[in-house]
Amino acid sequence: MIVIAALWITALLLMGGFALDRVLRASIVRNFDDQLEYVLNSMIAASEIGPDGEVRFSRAPADQRFIEPYSGVYFQISGAGADSFPSRSLWDRRLRVSDKHEDVNVHVYDSNEFAGEPLRISERDVILPGSNTRWRFQVAQSREMINAQIRELRSTLFWSFLALGVGLLILAALQTFYGLWPLRRVRQDVAAIRSGAKTRIEEDFPNEVRPLTDEINQLLAHSEEQAEEARRHAGNLAHALKTPLTVITNAATANAPDLADTVCREATVMRRQVDHHLARARAIGRRASTHARAIVWESAEAVQRAVDRLYEDVTVDIAGDKTAAVRVERQDLDEMLGNLLENAAKYGGGRVFVTVEPNDTMVDILVEDDGKGIPEQQREAIFQRGARLDTDKPGTGLGLAIVRDVAEIYGGRITLEESEDLGGLLARLSLPAG
C-alpha cells in the first residue's frame, strides 16, 4: 500500500509540477514580451522624420539603460538605404536585420547574435509620416533576467513539490501503519486465544474492524458449541451403552440360562443407540458444507420407489412444487423422508400423500397417512429415542427421533398434526429453502 501510494503521489506531482512550470514560465515570458512591446510602441509614437530624412525622437526614451554601453537593453531603427539609428547602449554592435519578412505586426523572438548574451527582441515595420521608407524598429533586452526568474521559479517548484511529496508519503505511511494497527491487535488476540490466555476477542475496535472480530467470536462460539455437542453425544452414547453392557456382563458372570436371549436383546438396544448417534454425527459433519442443496421432489420420488418395493399394498402420491430445494445434503434428506414415509406406510391404512410447499424462507414437506393417527398428548413423547406406540410391528423406535435431530441440525423442525384429508397423522417437516 505504501509503495503504490508513493508511485501514485510521485506520478501526480511530476505531472502537476510539469504543467505548473509550463504555465508560470509562459506567464513570465508573456509579461516580459508585454514590456518590450510597450517600449517599442512608445518609441514608434515618439519618432518623427528630421530635416535630413533621418529618424529622431520627439522625446528621449525614459529608460536610462539605453544610454549605458552594454547595459542589456537596446534599440535600433533601420531603413532601406538609410543609416541605422542605434541606441548608445549598443556601442559598437548592431542588431541583425532580416529582409526575409516584413513585420507589420509586432514580432517577438529569441536571438543569440551577441556572443554570451542571449537576447529577446521585439520588432515592427513602420512607415513614418513624411517618409516613404519602411523603418524597422527593434527593441532588445538580455534574456538573463527572465532566465533568472525561470530558474528561481523552477527551484521554488522543485523544493515545494519535494516537501509536499515527502509530506504526503509520510502521511500515507502513517495512515497505512495506524490504519492496519487494529489488524495487528486482532492477530495478537487470536494468538492469545490459541495459547489459551483468552477465549474471546474482547477489545473495542474501530467500526471497520468490528465486523471481523464479531465474526471471529461467532466462529469461536460455533466451534465451542460443536465441541460441546460432540462431547455430549459421546457421553450420551457411552451412557446408553453402559447399561446393556452391564446387563450382558452380569448375565454372563452368573451363567444365566437366558444368556443368549439377553445378549440378543441388549445388542439390539446398543445397535439402536449406535445408529441414532451415527445419523446425528453424519448430519453434523455434512452441515458444515455451505453449498448443500437438494431438490425435494427428486428425493421424494426416490424414497417413493423404495417404499413401493417394500410395501406393495401402499399407494404413495406426491404433489406440490417440483422445483423446491432445501439447504440439506441429499443423503440426509433421503434419510428423513425415508423414515417419515416408512412410518406412514407401516402404520397407515394403505394411502400416503406427500405435499411440497415453499413457505417464505422455508420449505414445508407434508407427509399424511390414513391410519389411526396419534393422540395430541402423545405426539411429543413419540420423538423420544426408542418410543413406540405400536409394539406389534417391527421397528427400533428411532425414526422420528432421527428425523427431528437431523432437521434441527440444519435449522429445521418437525411437528405432528392431524390430517384433514386422510384422517390419519400429518408430519410437517420444515427445512431451510435452498
Q: How far apart are CA 241 and CA 1, in angstroms?
A: 60
pLDDT reported for residue 38: 92
pLDDT reported for residue 388: 45
Condensed to tens digits (0 to 9), the pLDDT of residues 246-286 reads 878 888 888 888 888 888 887 877 877 777 667 666 666 65
Q: Looking at residues 123-144, what average pLDDT do you find? A: 88
- For residue 416, list its beta bridge partners: 427
pLDDT at 364 over 60: yes
- Kindly report the number of other CB atoms within 10 A of residue 92's CB atom: 7
Question: CB within 8 A of 184, min separation 6: which ones?
Answer: none
For the chain, how many residues are written?
434
pLDDT reported for residue 284: 64
pLDDT reported for residue 396: 39
Q: Looking at residues 208-215, what average pLDDT do you find? A: 85
Contact (CB, 8 A) for 118 and 146: no
pLDDT at 186 over 90: no
- For residue 426, list its beta bridge partners: 368, 417
Which of 138-152, 161-175, 204-218, 361-375 shows the lowest mean pLDDT across its residues?
204-218
Looking at per-residue pLDDT, the higher value among 290 and 315 belongs to 315
In a 13 Å sphere around the CA of 347, the CA atoms on its Cβ side amount to: 25
Condensed to tens digits (0 to 9), the pLDDT of residues 67-99 reads 899 999 999 998 877 778 899 999 989 998 887
In a 13 Å sphere around the CA of 141, the CA atoms on its Cβ side amount to: 19
pLDDT reported for residue 387: 46
Looking at per-residue pLDDT, the higher value among 160 and 277 belongs to 160
Which of 162-176, 245-259, 418-432 shows the lowest mean pLDDT across its residues?
245-259
Please state whether the predicted TM-score (pTM) of the whole model is above 0.85.
no
Band (397; pLDDT cuts 50, 70, 90): very low
The mean of the pLDDT values for the chain is 84
Which of 58-72, 138-152, 235-249, 289-303 shows the lowest mean pLDDT across its residues?
235-249
Q: Looking at residues 43-52, what average pLDDT do you find? A: 85
Q: Looking at residues 337-364, what average pLDDT do you find? A: 90
Which of 8-17, 158-167, 231-240, 347-356 shows the lowest mean pLDDT across its residues?
231-240
Q: How far apart are CA 235 and CA 232, in angstroms?
A: 5
pLDDT at 131 over 70: yes
Distances in Å between the Cα of 33 and the Cα atoms of 38, 73, 110, 120 are 9, 13, 11, 8
pLDDT at 59 over 70: yes
Looking at per-residue pLDDT, the higher value among 207 and 292 belongs to 207
Q: Residue 228: helix, strand or coil by DSSP?
A: helix
H/E element, 427 = strand 425-432
pLDDT at 167 over 80: yes
pLDDT reported for residue 159: 94
Task: Please report, rounded to a whole number, the percentage of residues in the chain having pLDDT higher than 70.
Answer: 92
Which of 26-30, 116-120, 364-368, 393-397 shows the lowest mean pLDDT across its residues?
393-397
pLDDT reported for residue 394: 42
Read off the amino acid at residue 260.
A
Q: Looking at residues 157-171, what average pLDDT do you find? A: 93
Which of 236-240, 295-299, 303-307 shows the lowest mean pLDDT across its residues?
236-240
pLDDT reported for residue 164: 94
Q: How far apart are CA 288 and CA 226, in angstroms?
A: 11
pLDDT at 193 over 70: yes
Which of 6-10, 195-199, 354-358 shows the lowest mean pLDDT across its residues?
195-199
pLDDT reported for residue 389: 45
pLDDT reported for residue 230: 73
Looking at per-residue pLDDT, the higher value among 397 and 111 belongs to 111
Condensed to tens digits (0 to 9), the pLDDT of residues 97-115 reads 887 777 778 899 999 988 8
Query: All 3 cell numbers of residue 319?
Result: 404433489
